[in-house]
Structure 1
Amino acid sequence: MLFSLPLFLAPALVAAHGAVTSYEIGGKKYEGYQGFSPVAGAQIIQRQWPDYNPIMTVTDPKMTCNGGTSAPLSAEVAAGENVTAIWKQWTHQQGPVTVYLYSCDGEFTACDGKGKKWFKIDEMGLWGDVLNSNNWGTALIYKDLKWSSRIPKTLKPGNYLIRHELLALHQANTPQFYPECAQIKVTGSGTAVPSGASLTSIPAYAAQSDPGIMVDIYMGKGTSYKVPGPAVWSG
């Protein structure tokens, strides 16, 4: 006998995903966007994403900031300080966490995240040697519902987008991307800027066929994992 999924469970499947919904910077909390209960005219630093359903391909235009294009506010952060992203919910424990910055080179209203200007400042993939385990960056999000990353101390001041991405790998060869962006103004006296191989475009920071994206964690005896995209730039 075949059984169909009860309709009342459908919203629960959507709610099983998650997104960054607030930030802590310099001891101050900044509210983010609430995709399924948005507040009209919300004074937030986060680019307003339409939903937190998964993005399934690395080339999807929504990969830049989950479809978000603008925010009314920005948060000031000194180079060398931490930015902590906070989730209200997250249920997957297999996959990497990555954090990127993008130099706006001007006002946020004209900052579209396009071009080869994204650079990675933080990542955590697999630790240990068992792919089919909970020893992943996203397992720490599952546990703590937060992720803290240090802005490189020598980074040149300016307006930046900060982008947090969770890549869920719990379904074989079916990657699920969950990115969100916020607007930050980096201060300090640094002069360092990334260049060359440290810079990438988003979408398409890697091929869909990249072994860090298209992976079956349940097959074989794989003992290593390389987070897709460029290496972390520390300044």
Structure 2
Amino acid sequence: MQLSLALASLAAVVSRLPQVSAHGGVLSYKFGSATYQGFVPYNTPVGQSSIQREWDTYNPITDPTDPSLSCNINGATLAEQLSATVAAGTQVTAYWNAWPHTIGPVMVYMAACPSGCTNADTSTLEFFKIDQAGLISGDLVTGLWGMGELVQNNNSWTSTIPASLAPGEYMIRHELLAIHTSDQPQFYPECAQLILTGSGTSTPSSSYLVTFPGAYSASDPGVTIDIYSNENETNYTIPGPAVWSG
């Protein structure tokens, strides 16, 4: 009986391992030469201190209208929430866990926090896109995607914060959209808080601003695409607004 129970427990644990290893999120950030550890999922938020908002699971969000799409589940402010002080024009690198998916776009957004980011409800923030990469070369099934480039670069993605962006408090949001399955999209969003410095005066116009949820819909061709029914296609439309470069 004890052996049977032990085997059953082991089977239950093993059955969960592929799900965890197949998905993931941002584990740390680098702004210029400064490195910041991210939130540690599957652990209690009590006692954790990070620039990153809380995220509780490696699993994807599969509904583009999910209330948690802004900063993942549950996106809450930590009791010991930090913000990184960063100069406009700085490079930011997000380091993901060992990532198996290579088909889909990489997108990076920012949003101003008019009343400060620590108390901000991220679903009400207006985000603008500062970087993206979709299908870089080849066809939908065998080509090089932004996510494939991320995997090749040690599961990391580097972007540059627009140098002309006005100073203030901002949320930065990294997102992967895995489209390797034909039944549903897989969104992986992560957010971290910044205090931006510099002498910039630019801000994006309303045409660049979106909310999450709200930026995507199930009818967007870049969200609902079945790559295996269009395997010879060499074009892909990245969802969301155009990139604002300053």
Q: TM-score surpassing 0.5?
A: yes
Classify the secondary structure of the residue corresponding to 1:110.
coil
1:189 is aligned to 2:196: no
Q: What's the counterpart of residue 3 of structure 1?
A: none
- The answer for unaligned runs of 5 or more in structure 1 is 1-5
What do residues 200-219 of structure 1 show as CA deviations (whole Å, max 9, x unaligned)? 11112021110000011111
Q: How does 1:136-175 map to 2 (within 5 A)?
A: 136-143=145-152, 144-175=154-185
Question: Aligned AA for 1:69?
Answer: A
Classify the secondary structure of the residue corresponding to 1:53.
coil
Question: Aligned AA for 1:96?
Answer: P
Q: Contact 2:111–2:125 (CA<8 Å) still a contact in 1?
A: no
Question: Aligned AA for 1:203?
Answer: P
* Bigger share in helix: 2
Q: What's the counterpart of residue 96 of structure 1?
A: 105
Choose which of 227, 234, 239 in structure 2 pairs with 1:223: 234
Q: CA deviation at 1:36?
A: 2.2
- Alpha-carbon RMSD across the aligned residues, in angstroms, is 1.5
Give the Cα separation in 2 of the matches to 1:159 and 1:234: 18
Q: What's the counterpart of residue 232 of structure 1?
A: 243
Q: Contact 1:159–1:186 (CA<8 Å) still a contact in 2?
A: yes
Give the Cα separation in 2 of the matches to 1:116 and 1:102: 6
Per the normalisation by structure 1, the TM-score is: 0.93
Q: Number of aligned pairs? A: 230
Q: How does 1:63-82 map to 2 (within 5 A)?
A: 63-66=69-72, 67-71=74-78, 72-82=81-91
1:55 is aligned to 2:61: yes
Per the normalisation by structure 2, the TM-score is: 0.89
Q: Which has the larger radius of gyration?
A: 2
Q: Percent identity?
A: 46
Choose which of 92, 99, 104 in structure 2 pairs with 1:83: 92
Q: Contact 2:137–2:143 (CA<8 Å) still a contact in 1?
A: no
- The answer for unaligned runs of 5 or more in structure 2 is 1-10
Q: What's the counterpart of residue 122 of structure 1?
A: 131
Q: What's the counterpart of residue 7 of structure 2?
A: none
Question: Aligned AA for 1:155?
Answer: L
Give the Cα separation in 1 of the matches to 2:52 and 2:143: 29
Question: Aligned AA for 2:94?
Answer: A
Q: Contact 1:173–1:215 (CA<8 Å) still a contact in 2?
A: no
Q: CA deviation at 1:39?
A: 6.1
What do residues 141-187 of structure 1 show as CA deviations (whole Å, max 9, x unaligned)? 22221111100000010000000000000101410000000001110
Choose which of 121, 127, 144 in structure 2 pairs with 1:135: 144
